[in-house]
Amino acid sequence: MKMTLAARAALVALIAVAAFSAKSHADSGYVTLTIYKAGWVIGGSGGSGTLKFRGRTYGLSTGGLDYGLVFGGSKTVLRGRVSNISRPSDVAGVYGAAGAGLAVGSGARAIVLTNQKGAVLELSGKQVGLLANLDLSGLAITLK
């Protein structure tokens, strides 16, 4: 028995809706982070921020280590989107990155990070201070 073109289209649409429904439990929110960073070869960072998710605001704490060429100190304020989360605790975790930068006075910063739960941070903002870095860094985010 041959399937009509309309029946095939309806079947494809049904499969697409089912696949989308399975992934629709993941949502997105907005994150603001203020991070202070300082170091000489080995650096450290710490700060705080907020997560706005499904109409509520949650406090965040950050901390991290950097290793490589790190010299100086800076303050960075980042804002952006976190995607692929189902609940606020999905944003918590360890994010790793290799980075290079130079901040003398004020400069722009943009970064995309992923944690072990699959949460994706797409952040941009302003970095102020005197900091030169070519390093591997890890950033841990926890809910307050």
Distances (CA, A) of 93 to 36, 69, 121, 139: 19, 25, 11, 8
Query: What is the arithmetic mean of pLDDT over 116-134?
Result: 87
With a cut of 90, say whether residue 137 has pLDDT above it.
Answer: no
pLDDT recorded at residue 35: 93
Query: What is the arithmetic mean of pLDDT over 49-59?
Result: 97
Contacts of residue 56, Cβ cutoff 8 Å, sequence gap at least 6: 88
Beta bridge pairs of residue 124: 79, 110
With a cut of 90, say whether residue 43 has pLDDT above it.
Answer: no
The label of the residue with tokens 């992934």 reads 23
Phi and psi of 117, rounded to 5°? Answer: -90, -5
Q: What is the CATH number of domain 26-143?
A: 2.40.128
Q: Which long-range contacts (CB under 8 A, 24 or more apart) does 114-118 make?
A: 115/91, 115/141, 117/85, 117/90, 117/93, 118/84, 118/90
pLDDT recorded at residue 80: 96
| pTM (2 d.p.) | 0.75
With a cut of 80, say whether residue 21 has pLDDT above it.
Answer: no
The label of the residue with tokens 């995309």 reads 112
